[in-house]
A = this chain, B = another copy of it.
Amino acid sequence: MAEKGVTPRSADYARWYTDVVQKAELADYSPVKGCMVIRPYGYTLWENIQAALDRRFKDTGHVNAYFPLFIPMSFLQKEAEHVQGFAPELAVVTVGGGKELDEPLVVRPTSETIIGHMYSQWIRSYRDLPVLINQWGNVVRWELRTRLFLRTTEFLWQEGHTAHATEQEALEETIRMLGVYADFAINEAAIPVIQGKKSQREKFAGAVDSYTIEAMMGNGWALQSGTSHFLGQNFARAFDITFLNQNNELDHAWTTSWGLSTRMVGAIIMTHGDDQGLVLPPRLAPLQAVIVPIWRKDAEQAAVRELAQRVFALLKAAGIRAKLDDRDELSAGFKFNDWEMRGVPLRIEIGPRDVEQNAVVLARRDVPGKEGKTFGVPVDGLAAAVDAMLTTIQANLLRRATAHRDANTHTVATYDEFKQALEDRGGFIRVHWAGTGEDEDRIKEETKATIRCFPFEKPEGEGVCFYTGRRTDQVAIFARAY
């Protein structure tokens, strides 16, 4: 039960975030350092995310499978860049069944290595390609500073791993799956992400190139919300994934991997949430509408409850995820706050006057106060009206988040302007970029901003790099990021 409000965003954004996660009962701290407990309300949100993604994966020809949690340490070491990137974050099993193990086992931080090994057994000929497999599961990366959903030692995710006969096909797959993530983020989570390529400094350890969807949070920071990696033949070479091509020659496969995690829950919270708590996009919300019956006199109660029950039944029959809050011991005002905290998109109020009119009041979560209320909505045709309202809310959340992102995206011409803009306004800084990796490091050290991506969408022609002064057609988005 959400008893008190949350810290205002303006007072302390980080505390606001943690308050929302806990008071909306999305997640809780666990006694194990850095690990979280995903509570039923948060997990149902994750289930809805999973369903929306899994449908898209299957529509693009992928199947699910499951590979072991434990990976022999020697596997990690086969791809040099990969082990370098992940070694500091590993959790290691050294004892099994009461005995010291001969070879320590790593709890998977990601599964390229073990899956690469299996693909080398399964793939023989070009006829076996492409292999298009996804896995839903848990992974572990030892983190020093953790935040619920955003960075936890254990997290849930999906990781796609595909193998192809040609470079071209693997590249297309990498971009296709990034597009699937963007489509999901925009049309399900109402988050207007930007698609782009990562800099070499920020790419996945072992990839040739990494691609990302980047979202802007309420405080102007960036959140990397899903990544898709073109692995070239790096892992195929490390794990001997070879096949006989159509000319009967032995060739290494081209592989990709792509992942999206429970971090997406954090993205949703920080894109849409407000000082009353969580605001959920209707398409993913565990509950889309909550019905609150209201009466003062005992004589009114039976009729109000009867209508509330009827409304609940008709919404359920229409496939709307509805709940009837008929808790006796709580006031209507308390219930309003409670469901606002939980971000339910639509509240349906039913009082004695509504009973008389055979109508209800709809109150939108995304538009506070009287402005967001529609009075006298007839019970006849209510399911269609609720459905239309949910569509409106979904569209409004996306529109609002897009406006926020655009209003907080700046272009600058010089490094001084860059630093000033970051200091004054934060947000995304969109610039032409011709610097080196070392330049990138220096900017990060001096401003804490990093290249979030080289966006696919950019103007034609060249411009001047704000840092080096060189002409270039490459555009970068810088931001401070989670």
Bound-state CA distance A68–B32 (Å) is 8
Cβ contact within 8 Å between A70 and B35: yes
Decide: A30 and B93 in contact? CB cutoff 8 A: no
- Contact indicator per residue, chain A 321-332, by CB within 8 Å of chain B (1) or not (0): 000000001000
Min CB distance A96 to B, Å, is 5
Q: Are A72 and B154 in touch, CB under 8 angstroms?
A: no
Output the least CB separation between A161 and chain B (Å).
Answer: 12
- A30 adjacent to B133 (CB under 8 Å): no
Complex Cα distance, B142 from A95, in Å, reads 10
* Distance between A322 CB and nearest chain B CB, rounded to angstroms: 15
Complex CA gap A261/B329 in Å reads 41
Q: Given A93-B107, A95-B92, do A43 and B65 touch, yes or no (CB 8 Å)?
A: yes
**Contact residues, A18-50 vs B (CB, 8 A):** 28, 30-32, 35-40, 43-44, 46-47
The answer to whether A382 has its CB under 8 Å from any CB of chain B is no
- Per the bound structure, the CA–CA distance linking A318 and B36 in Å amounts to 42
Q: Which residues of B contact A133 (CB under 8 A)?
A: 40
Option from B31, B63, B72 in Cβ contact (under 8 Å) with A43: B63
State which residues 61-77 of A face B: CB under 8 Å.
Answer: 63-72, 75
Which residues of chain B come closer than 8 Å to A154, judged between CB atoms? 68-70
A47's partner among B43, B64, B72 (CB-CB below 8 A) is B64
User: Which of B35, B67, B97, B153 is A89 in contact with, Cβ under 8 Å?
Assistant: B97
| Assembled-state Cα–Cα distance A93/B101 (Å) | 11
User: Would you call A388 an interface residue if the criterion is a C-beta within 8 Å of the partner chain's C-beta atoms?
Assistant: no
A381 CB within 8 Å of chain B = no
Range, interface on chain A: 35 or more
B-contacting 9-mer, from A8-16, A114-122, A215-223, A305-313: A114-122
Q: In the complex the two chains form, what is the Cα distance from A63 to B93 in whole Å? A: 31
Q: Is A105 an interface residue (CB 8 A)?
A: yes
CA distance A88 to B93 in the complex (A): 15
Residues from chain B with a CB closer than 8 A to the CB of A98 are 87-88, 90, 142
Contacts A40-B63, A66-B43, A118-B37; A32 near B71 (Cβ below 8 A): yes
> CB-CB < 8 A to A92: which residues of B?
93-96
Cβ contact within 8 Å between B105 and A32:
yes
Let me know if A138 is at the binding interface, CB within 8 A. yes
Which residues from chain A sit less than 8 Å from chain B, CB to CB? 28, 30-32, 35-40, 43-44, 46-47, 63-72, 75, 87-98, 104-105, 107, 114, 117-118, 121-122, 127, 133, 137-138, 140, 142-144, 153-154, 156, 329
Subset of 25 A-B contacts with CB under 8 Å:
A32-B71, A35-B69, A37-B118, A38-B65, A39-B65, A40-B63, A43-B64, A43-B66, A46-B66, A70-B140, A70-B154, A87-B98, A88-B97, A90-B97, A90-B98, A91-B95, A91-B105, A92-B94, A92-B95, A92-B96, A93-B93, A93-B94, A94-B94, A97-B143, A127-B329
